[in-house]
Amino acid sequence: MQNANAPESSLIGEEYEVEVGPVAHGGHCIARTEGGRVLFVRHALPGEKVVARVTEGEETSRFLRADAITILDASKDRVEAPCPFAGPGKCGGCDWQHAKPGAQRRLKGEVIAEQLQRLAGLTPEEAGWDGTVMPAEGDKLPPGEVPQWRTRVQYAVDAEGHAGLRKHRSHEVEIIDHCMIAAQGVSELGIEKRTWEGMASIEAIAASGSNDRQVILAPRPGARLPLVELDKPVSVMRVDENDGGIHRVHGRAFVRERADGRTHRVGSGGFWQVHPKAAETLMLAVMQGLTPRKGETALDLYCGVGLFAGALADRVGDQGAVLGIESGKRAVEDARHNLADFPRVRIEQGKVESVLPRTGITEVDLIVLDPPRAGAGKQTVHHLAGLGARRIAYVACDPAALSRDLAYFAERGYKVRTLRAFDLFPMTHHVECVAILEPVKKDV
């Protein structure tokens, strides 16, 4: 069956009966047609037999994307998706609603292991990893129950002003009346209940460290902001259609988050971990791995509002020193505010690859880096390896980028001491890792 509106060479709409193979990075599994074509199949599980309908691809494509529309032989790990908006052609926010929670974590572990082997040449044992992906505290729920973990939800708005979520790899909006993985503080705002004429998107933020609630409105060109009347008190921000900046309309321009016994100001929709337990979980994993000592010097790269810099400063004490580097102007302002009681902390604004060489730093005891999804890259990794740190903590939201960078570290004499993985994005394919590296001991 072929889509009548697709180009002649398109295979969109074609259906294949396939045996589903292993999981792949990106929330899908790999299958092959009888003719040998590679399919990336969503809504399937390894070992199943399914009918897969092509959603992207042409005769000349290296691979095709597809959805499992009929399950002929189901995996024992399959469950009925709890969310009515999950499934082929629907909301793209979740990848694994159809898998038991334990199976989701195993799939993520398999992806990490495959990426480590393929891109870094490491087995789990060589990476100091036991192969498990740990759930966050409170997330171990029975099949059919979904953790309400997403404290920040980006709603898309259709032409009629209805709020929803994007379909997978599409600009189309799936209109919803409730997101099951949204934190209670987001759900209780009631964003899905009203219309948002003239808006392109709405981001809802429910701080887990306070009762602060915020919405960030992005109007369509020329549209006026609506009067925001939601079910709970909320501050309102807007995205400037000219420069993309975020400006306060009313209420606080920031939300307050808590981690490591400290309150952190996070302004203008700035970055903070989305899962309510994530900041504390990752901070503890980093500090346990680094074991900071009094008087040591440390770098916190891509430091955001100062989560790791503050934890380091607290542990290295008055005789130690911490330098944070962050590209976002507002995040730097927040970090300086959040860490004002640590005189031995300095925060510099700019890209790490530009600022770090200008600091003149030639040696350091500890390094934390939490780069964006693309990773730190070869140039930055090689620079860091030259600073002689006794330990480096690498926090990664993408196992492929992590594995590439671990290979670059290995080129310059750093090996992985331990790796831990955390399921801080349940129902999705995303996973967070913390790798602790140390220099390879040279034979005397």
Could you tell me how far CA 195 lies from the centroid of its own chain? 29
Question: Under DSSP, is residue 288 helix (H, G, I), strand (E, B) or coil?
Answer: helix
Other Cβ atoms closer than 10 A to 160: 10
∠ Cα 237 240 245 (to 5°): 80
**Whole-angstrom distance, CA of residue 301 vs CA of residue 290:** 15
Q: Which helix (H) or strand (E) holds 338?
A: helix 329-338
Other Cβ atoms closer than 10 A to 96: 26
DSSP string, 108-121: HHHHHHHHIIIII-
Which of 184-208 are b and which e, b meaning 16 or more Cβ less than 10 Å from the residue's Cβ?
ebbbebebbeeebebbbbbbbbbbb
Which tokens in the block code for residue 418?
Answer: 């331990």
Active-site residues: which are they? 397
- Shortest CA distance to 437 belongs to which of 418, 422, 411, 423? 418
**Whole-angstrom distance, CA of residue 318 vs CA of residue 342:** 8
Contacts of 94 (CB under 8 A, 6+ apart): 83, 86, 181, 427, 428
Packing angle between helix 278-290 and helix 307-316, nearest 10 degrees?
40
Other Cβ atoms closer than 10 A to 404: 20
Q: Which helix (H) or strand (E) holds 87?
A: none
Strands 366-369, 321-326: pairing is unpaired
Cα-atom radius of gyration of the chain, to the nearest Å? Answer: 23
**Whole-angstrom distance, CA of residue 299 vs CA of residue 303:** 9
